[in-house]
């Protein structure tokens, strides 16, 4: 089986934990965060940090996990829409409110590649 390519948006408590676990499991993990403070630690853990959301999407991940604050979702989705390929990437999230996120994903035109998830990591 080919190595899974996973992209993470947001390296906070949930996103950072998920990224580390996926890297430890042998996945190729790329990530973007709104600031670069967690990048040194993430890169030491085997996570490739990207300079922009566009670069993250252009890395052609199999799965892209939105681990960002809910209030940032519309802007992030609008940016991802420009470079994410919904034919090759599954989009999911760890937000606690599914209806709102689902509506925002649909408004961004990415609903055909979206699968909602539950916000648990550790």
Q: Note the pLDDT of residue 121.
A: 53
Domain positions in the chain are 5-116
Q: What is the average per-residue pLDDT within 112-120?
A: 86
**More confident: 117 or 115:** 115
Separation CA 29–CA 90 (nearest Å) = 14
Architecture of domain 5-116: 3-Layer(aba) Sandwich (3.40)
State pLDDT tens for residues 29-57: 999 999 999 999 999 999 999 999 999 99
Q: Note the pLDDT of residue 96.
A: 80
Contact in structure between 55 and 82 (CB atoms under 8 Å): no
State pLDDT tens for residues 4-27: 999 999 999 999 999 999 999 999
Q: How much is the pTM? A: 0.94
Identify each DSSP E strand in 24-118 by its residue range.
28-32, 48-49, 63-66, 90-93, 114-116
């Amino acid at each position: 089986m080919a190595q899974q390519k996973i992209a993470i948006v947001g390296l906070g408590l949930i996103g950072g934990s998920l990224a580390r676990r996926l890297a430890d499991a042998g996945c190729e993990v790329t990530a973007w965060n709104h600031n670069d403070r967690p990048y040194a630690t993430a890169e030491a853990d085997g996570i490739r940090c990207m300079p922009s959301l566009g670069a993250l999407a252009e890395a052609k991940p199999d799965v892209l996990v939105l681990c960002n604050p809910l209030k940032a979702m519309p802007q992030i989705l609008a940016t991802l829409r420009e470079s994410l390929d919904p034919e090759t990437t599954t989009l999911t999230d760890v937000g606690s409110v599914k209806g709102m996120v689902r509506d925002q994903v649909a408004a961004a035109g990415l609903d055909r590649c979206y699968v909602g998830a539950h916000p648990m990591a550790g």
